[in-house]
């Protein structure tokens, strides 16, 4: 008799296909969230010139970054509103709504008339666009993080959750590539004059595409089980409760996200602006150098996510924090002393390794601190507050530090301060939460 190959049951096949599709679409939404934030950061100088005119380009840059930071004020508001909704209506519902708001914010910025056309109303429109983007991101970040970890197969929350940050750094990379290609194609002068609008209009279009695709994805199995328990009024939670109380978990999440946010917004998003403004590296090489570092991070994040499932989240969080206490001053000093494309590539590659460590383990780390009933709200609110407090003001604080101290390497001190906060939180994390 001829033996037949074993076939998995259809339910197993369906679960695997649903998990894969959900991971891809959850990741794509995060790509769009961070693409929007990235292109604003990279085009801050052009936006400053168009909407905050004046004789001092550094002052215009500060004004542009101030509006960038104001958008992050809306993140906690979005999290406070949309986070609890994700626990009542589902992760999928909030992820759809956030894409709609994100598309609207990008469209407003992309179509806003300049200061020369309509005066003071112009920066007000940019502010509205940033507030819409920030509000939507407050719901998207936490909901997508919870969505991915709740879809993960047993013992692989770190790996599946890491794609949340593959989306983040994929969005950063996409933003870098779009701005780099645009700058190479039309030139810096054209980007300053009008072409800066193109990335925002493209972002609005892509957000609508992701919105349509997300309509076909299902809710997470954990949330479905939670809904069933509510219907039967059993009061049972799904899954087993977290290893720490909600209050302590909230504080730990704030601390973990602090460095995580700063690495995104200072060592990657802000770095091309820093290299161009203070190290005099030409704009296009600065963008391409940052793209190389970002690409390395995208490749390494799932590797460290997988490692966190094996050795735990704590060693990676602590290791990344120690690295960011040690390396920023030498790297910023090296870039200022030897400003070149090659130097910036080396700096970004070195930064990418500890960045990938905390990004790979981070999503699962903060999700595991809370139970299913309140996970959407608490992950959203904690991450939004920490990102707003530490990451959103990163470009503004870094530029202000350089201007106030006269030390071009002073942004390194900001990174190191965030690393100390995360080190304390990392040491306080439960050792076996990943199990």
Q: Is residue 5 part of a domain?
A: no
Q: Is the pLDDT of residue 433 over 90?
A: no
Q: Which domain holds residue 58?
A: 17-428
Q: Is residue 214 part of a domain?
A: yes
Q: Report residue 264 as tokens.
A: 């995104």
Q: Is residue 7 part of a domain?
A: no
Q: Is residue 435 part of a domain?
A: no
Question: 352 with 37: CB under 8 angstroms?
Answer: no
The pLDDT assigned to 9 comes to 43
pLDDT in tens, 27-49: 887 888 788 877 887 787 788 88
Q: Is residue 423 part of a domain?
A: yes
The pLDDT assigned to 359 comes to 92
Number of domains in the chain: 1
Sorting pLDDT into bands at 50, 70 and 90, what band is 5?
very low
Question: 39 with 179: CB under 8 angstroms?
Answer: yes
For the chain, report the end-to-end CA distance as a whole number of angstroms.
Answer: 44
Q: Is residue 353 part of a domain?
A: yes
- Length of the chain (residues): 435
The pLDDT assigned to 273 comes to 80
Sorting pLDDT into bands at 50, 70 and 90, what band is 180?
confident
In sequence order, what DSSP letters do the residues of 302-350 get, joined into one string? HHHHHHHHHH-SHHHHHHHHHHHHHSHHHHHHHHHHS-SHHHHHHHHHH
CATH number at residue 116: 1.20.1250.20
Q: Is residue 6 part of a domain?
A: no
Sorting pLDDT into bands at 50, 70 and 90, what band is 417?
very high
Sorting pLDDT into bands at 50, 70 and 90, what band is 56?
low
The model's pTM: 0.80
Q: Is residue 3 part of a domain?
A: no
């Amino acid at each position: 008799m001829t033996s037949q190959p074993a076939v998995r049951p259809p339910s197993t096949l369906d679960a695997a296909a649903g998990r894969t599709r959900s991971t891809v679409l959850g990741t794509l939404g995060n790509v769009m969230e961070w693409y929007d934030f990235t292109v604003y950061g990279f085009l801050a100088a052009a936006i400053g010139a168009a909407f905050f005119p004046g004789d001092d380009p550094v002052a215009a840059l500060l004004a542009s970054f101030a509006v960038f930071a104001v958008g992050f004020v809306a993140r906690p508001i979005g999290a406070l509103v949309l986070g609890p909704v994700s626990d009542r209506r589902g992760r999928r519902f909030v992820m759809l709504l956030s894409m709609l708001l994100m598309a609207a914010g990008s469209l407003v910025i992309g179509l806003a008339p300049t200061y020369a056309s309509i005066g003071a109303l112009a920066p007000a429109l940019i502010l509205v666009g940033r507030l819409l983007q920030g509000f939507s991101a407050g719901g998207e970040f936490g909901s997508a993080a919870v969505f991915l970890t709740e879809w993960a197969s047993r013992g692989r929350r770190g790996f599946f959750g890491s794609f949340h940050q593959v989306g983040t750094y994929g969005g950063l990379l996409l933003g870098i590539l779009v701005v780099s290609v645009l700058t190479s194609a039309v030139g810096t002068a054209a980007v300053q004059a009008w072409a800066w609008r193109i990335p925002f209009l493209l972002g609005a279009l892509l957000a609508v595409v992701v919105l349509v695709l997300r309509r076909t994805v299902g809710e997470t199995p954990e949330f479905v089980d939670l809904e069933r328990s509510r219907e039967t009024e059993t009061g049972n939670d799904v899954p087993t409760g977290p290893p720490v109380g909600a209050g302590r978990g909230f504080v730990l999440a704030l601390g973990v996200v602090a460095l995580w946010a700063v690495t995104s917004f200072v060592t990657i998003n802000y770095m091309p602006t820093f290299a161009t403004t203070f190290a005099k590296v030409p704009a296009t090489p600065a963008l391409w150098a940052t793209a190389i570092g970002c690409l390395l991070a995208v490749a390494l994040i799932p590797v460290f996510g997988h490692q966190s499932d094996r050795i735990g989240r704590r060693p990676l969080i602590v290791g990344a924090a120690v690295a960011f206490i040690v390396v920023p001053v030498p790297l910023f000093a090296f870039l200022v002393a030897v400003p070149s494309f090659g130097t910036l590539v080396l700096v970004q590659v070195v930064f990418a390794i500890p960045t990938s460590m905390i990004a790979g383990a981070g999503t699962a780390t903060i999700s595991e601190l809370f139970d299913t009933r309140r996970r959407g709200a608490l992950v959203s609110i904690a991450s939004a507050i920490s990102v707003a407090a530490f990451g959103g003001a990163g470009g503004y604080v870094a530029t202000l530090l350089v201007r106030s101290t006269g030390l071009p390497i002073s942004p390194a001190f900001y990174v190191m301060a965030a690393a100390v906060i995360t080190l304390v939180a990392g040491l306080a994390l439960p050792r076996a939460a990943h199990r």
